Amino acid sequence: MNPGGQVPLETLSLCFVNSLSPQPEPRRRAEEELSRAADSPGFSLSLLHLASSPSADDQVRHAAAVHFKNHLRARWAPAPSDQNPNPNPISPPEKDQIKVLLVGLMLSSPPRVRSQLGEALAVVSAHDFPRSWPGLLPELVSSLRSATDYAAINGLLAAANSIFKRFRTAFSSDNAVRLDLKYCLDGFAAPLLEVFLRTARGIEAAMASAPDAALLRQMFESQHLCCRIFFSLNSVELPEFFEDHMKEWMAEFKAYLSTPYAPPVEADGTVDTVRAAICENLELYMRKNEEEFQAYLGDFVSSVYTLLMTSSPSSSRDHLTVTAIKFLTTVSTSVHHALFGNPEVLPQICQSIVFPNIRVRDEDEELFEMNYVEYIRRDIEGSDADTRRRIACELLKGIAVNYKEQVMAITSEQIQRMLTAYQVNTSENWKEKDCAIYLVVSLAIKKPTGGMEAAYLVNVESFFTSAIVPELQSRDVNAAPMLKAGALKFFTVFRSQIPKQTSILLLPEVIRFLVSESNVVHSYAANCIEKMLLVKDGGQLRYAASDIAPFLLALMTNLFNALRLPDSQENPYVMRCIMRVLAVAEVGHEVAVPCVAGLVSVLSEVCKNPKDPIFNHYLFEAIAALIRRSCEKDQTLVRIFEESLFPALQSMLVNDIAEFWPYAFQIFAQLVEINSPPLSPSYMQLFQVLLSPESWKRPASVPALVRLLSSYLKKVPNELNNEGRLSQVLGIFNNLISTSSTEELGFYVLNTVVENLQYEVLAPYISHVWSALFTRLQARQTMRFVKALIIFMSLVLVKHGTAILVDSVNAIQPNLFRTILEKFWIPNLKQITGFTEVKLTATASTRLLCESPVLLDSSAAELSGKMLDSVVTLLARPEDERVEEELDVPDIGGTIGQSSAFARLHNAGKKDGDPLENIIKDPKQFFVTSLAGLSSVSPGKLPVVIEKYMDATNKVALDELCKIYNCRII
């Protein structure tokens, strides 16, 4: 292709033919050519012409239309990205041509291509409509009024629907949105009603004669699109036009809800899509326009209620059933709830709408068996908001807001009836008990103190004992799996209400279900155990290591066996349970050895094809937890763990499994920290790899590399004297400090070096360190950097003395330290946060006041007074009073272990030490006693400085501190 000119259609067509090839090589070449051609002038027009060319192959046309849509999405209003920092936008003349051609070519194209071009139109309109594309709406309206073919009408309505969708999530307070909406309403509200009424008359006429099924389907699809546009245009507020013409709209809505059509017409579900869209419109009006809508409400409640009474359990009617029940739920919680208050109506709603829709259907059983991931996602992860079971329970909850006693009586009676039916024939009637359990669980409400309670339906402990425990104690873990899953879910939901002793007695039963053949059952068993271990009483974990110790070996054995079951090799619920158990348990040798073998085995398999990032994260958390809970207590396990883990971790680096590098480095850091010097050659070899600049080129790995580097610096600091390693470390620091996203990591490295090395080792490099820091400070004076600099300088002072800090800084430039104090240290000291950081900087500042000639000299009285004032502010004022909001840079999580592309392992975490832990306990006491000592040496000097330079509030605070610690400043 010639990147300098428009792409010939023949060449472009051949590219798409090759892009559809089953052979990878032609496909790759075609994709590369298309990528290169994307920068050619007229490329988007060539795509549009090919997509709309009747002579082109259908597959090629569709591929070109998809590529056209994606090209517009990437190039119409491109934003720079990491992959493409300088995107090449479509030129304005080319954009104008596209706008002129797009609607006409969309209407003349076959359905598959029309759909893609409609989405492309939506992409353009999202950026340009209406201000930069004023001709679009008139063109759509003109075409809509003149069109007689419903394929074209529906194409236009679909385009309008995609354009107006943005109003569904818009805020009424946005003036720009309101202006755009008014423009759309002025141009489209009347034509929309015209099309809707014209099509309604057409449907009536078609039904009066021998109906053309294909035409009817198109007309009902047209009505569905009109209803969706109605929803969009009414989402912000009730427009005047729709209020004036509410009667026409509502009459047609009621007709579609009330009219039963012949089975052949109903069969394909198109009519139900119209009804579902109408129910969504009714629910919208009930929420937003209740006063204007109330005249029609009674009739619609009756129509929707009747429709649901006759609705079949078929999955084809799921969407209609859900939207209809949502409408009734909204009404039930409104001021019009009396529509449900009739003693005859409420039992009918429960018996004919609520309870039938809660029952397990064949579709639910199939999903349970064939797609356990989706079943669990719906059942316990809250994505079931639009399922029949969930929405039926929501209706029951809604009615109970105003009719609690009646709902309680009806539902409790129904639960007992279901349990009795189950007892009559346990094998045949298991769905009755499943439904009863689901009702209790779904209607549970959160208690203010935490946990769940079964609302007003049953006594939790009694129901648990009579209905749930027998299922958990069933010997056959594979029998009635849906019922077992329901019982485990009940245990999980009400885990806080089940007494501790009861739960511990039942734990072995739950452990048995970990090897159930049902993926859902063993996932729920794992989830139950994991959630149980998180229960707290009074802020303390309810279950300790001693509670699970008797079952630990069996528990871990079954968990690893569950990972060998079909389709559960990467089961996140099982791995999360392994992680949680290892984080709680006291892991001895007999459990630790098989656990590390099991985890390494899983890790080896995952490395072959990493698929599930959630499972992978839990896997590495489990490894980190096992190291922390076993090796730190039993040093004999360290060598066993190294022999098991090293080959797997090293293979990740050798085979360049990039997403696992951050995890591997964190695990290596743990292993370094639990070792005793001298480290083995394997560790020292890794140290050399760590110091290589190549290892630091992946941003996602940098926080983990810093963590690993710090572990080495703390464990074997003397190794930095060998082979120029300190120079390499400082080179890493220099690179980190040069970028805002990693500058705090650079300080982390630097602080670790200062904490662990003698000054004699660091002295030859200190000038380089200061030069790098001050150059960065001069270039970009962000609050975050300044705070990190103050903390670092404070650390140098407390580790190596005031003189070394002052003299090494002044060696860069005479009196530079005083400048740093005046411009950065003193004004920003109050911004320091964190207990250790405040203690460190307050101590360093106090020592400067009392030890350094820079502040002790008589000519430095003002500077000394300002420093004194800053220290009092830091120590005496609450953080929210003294710390200003940082507006200079966005907070991207500067602390070690946080990054947008970095996943920190909680169980591999290491608390940073306090460099003053055994030296100074209370920085406030150190401050006032140091001042008192200084004042005793030079009586009368400090009171003058305090009176002249300190803030009045801080004077009072200083007096209070002196009284607390019984010190006098004279």
User: Residues 874-888: pLDDT tens digits?
Assistant: 999 998 888 875 443
Residue whose structure tokens are 């047609």: 252
Q: How far apart are CA 238 and CA 163, in angstroms?
A: 19
In a domain, 95, yes or no: yes
Give the pLDDT mean for 337-342.
Answer: 86
User: Does the structure show a pLDDT above 70 at 2?
Assistant: no
pLDDT at position 938, please?
A: 85
User: Residues 343-353: pLDDT tens digits?
Assistant: 888 999 999 99
pLDDT at position 889, please?
A: 34
Tokens read off for 725: 């390693």
Same-domain check for residues 228 and 283: yes
pLDDT at position 530, please?
A: 97
The percent of residues in the chain predicted with pLDDT above 70, rounded, is 95
User: Residues 521-541: pLDDT tens digits?
Assistant: 999 999 999 999 999 998 899
> Are 495 and 542 contacting, i.e. CB atoms less than 8 angstroms apart?
no
> Are 813 and 895 contacting, i.e. CB atoms less than 8 angstroms apart?
no
Same-domain check for residues 74 and 42: yes
Q: How far apart are CA 862 and CA 846, in angstroms?
A: 16
Same-domain check for residues 15 and 109: yes
Tokens read off for 632: 């730190």
- The DSSP element (H or E) to which 446 belongs, if any, is strand 445-446
Same-domain check for residues 152 and 258: yes
pLDDT at position 4, please?
A: 39
Q: How far apart are CA 117 and CA 102, in angstroms?
A: 7
Give the pLDDT mean for 770-796.
Answer: 92
In a domain, 74, yes or no: yes
**Structural domain ending residue among the three candidates 68, 96, 128:** 128
pLDDT confidence band for 891 (50 / 70 / 90):
very low
* 866 residue type, one letter: K
Same-domain check for residues 39 and 175: no
Cis previous bond, 678, omega within 30? yes
Same-domain check for residues 233 and 272: yes
Q: How far apart are CA 564 and CA 553, in angstroms?
A: 17
- Please list, in sequence order, all residues whose beta carbon lies within 8 angstroms of the beta carbon of residue 818, skipping any fewer than 6 positions away: 854, 860, 863
> Are 578 and 559 contacting, i.e. CB atoms less than 8 angstroms apart?
yes
> Are 729 and 750 contacting, i.e. CB atoms less than 8 angstroms apart?
no
Tokens read off for 902: 């970095």
User: Residues 489-506: pLDDT tens digits?
Assistant: 999 999 999 999 999 999
User: Residues 808-830: pLDDT tens digits?
Assistant: 999 999 999 999 999 999 999 99
Q: How far apart are CA 700 and CA 709, in angstroms?
A: 15
User: Residues 904-916: pLDDT tens digits?
Assistant: 788 877 666 788 8
Query: What is the residue range of 276's domain?
Result: 130-296
In a domain, 520, yes or no: no
**Distance, first Cα to last Cα, the chain:** 88
Same-domain check for residues 277 and 177: yes
Across 78-92, 95-109, 555-569, the highest mean pLDDT is recorded for: 555-569
Hey, is 899 helix, strand or coil? Answer: strand
DSSP state of 268: T
Stretch among 108-122, 322-336, 449-463, 586-600 having the lowest mean pLDDT: 449-463
Q: Of 916, 922, 919, 943, give the one whose Cα is nearest residue 931.
A: 943
Q: How far apart are CA 480 and CA 518, in angstroms?
A: 10
Same-domain check for residues 104 and 187: no
Same-domain check for residues 157 and 55: no
Average pLDDT, the chain: 89
**Structural domain ending residue among the three candidates 262, 296, 330:** 296
In a domain, 608, yes or no: no
* DSSP letter string, 206-260: HHHSS--HHHHHHHHHHHHHHHHHHHHHTSSS--HHHHHTHHHHHHHHHHHHHPP
Q: How far apart are CA 198 and CA 720, in angstroms?
A: 85
Tokens read off for 348: 């009918």
**Structural domain ending residue among the three candidates 296, 317, 349:** 296
pLDDT at position 429, please?
A: 94
> Are 519 and 565 contacting, i.e. CB atoms less than 8 angstroms apart?
yes
What are the two backbone dihedrals, phi and then psi, of residue 9, each rounded to the nearest 5 degrees?
-65, -35
User: Does the structure show a pLDDT above 80 at 296?
Assistant: yes
User: Residues 691-749: pLDDT tens digits?
Assistant: 888 888 888 888 888 889 888 888 888 777 777 788 888 989 988 988 888 888 889 88
Q: How far apart are CA 192 and CA 778, in angstroms?
A: 63
Q: What number of other Cβ atoms are within 10 A of residue 362's Cβ?
A: 10
User: Does the structure show a pLDDT above 60 at 870?
Assistant: yes
In a domain, 918, yes or no: no
How many domains are there within the chain? 2
In a domain, 59, yes or no: yes
Same-domain check for residues 35 and 178: no
Q: State CA 714 to chain mean position distance.
A: 35
In a domain, 263, yes or no: yes
Beta strands 452-453 and 445-446, pairing class: antiparallel
Same-domain check for residues 100 and 172: no
Same-domain check for residues 46 and 121: yes
In a domain, 801, yes or no: no
Residue whose structure tokens are 């005479």: 814
- The DSSP element (H or E) to which 479 belongs, if any, is none
Hey, is 417 helix, strand or coil? Answer: helix
User: Residues 112-169: pLDDT tens digits?
Assistant: 999 899 999 999 998 999 999 999 999 999 999 999 899 999 999 999 999 999 999 8
- Please list, in sequence order, all residues whose beta carbon lies within 8 angstroms of the beta carbon of residue 40, skipping any fewer than 6 positions away: 1, 2, 3, 4, 5, 6, 7
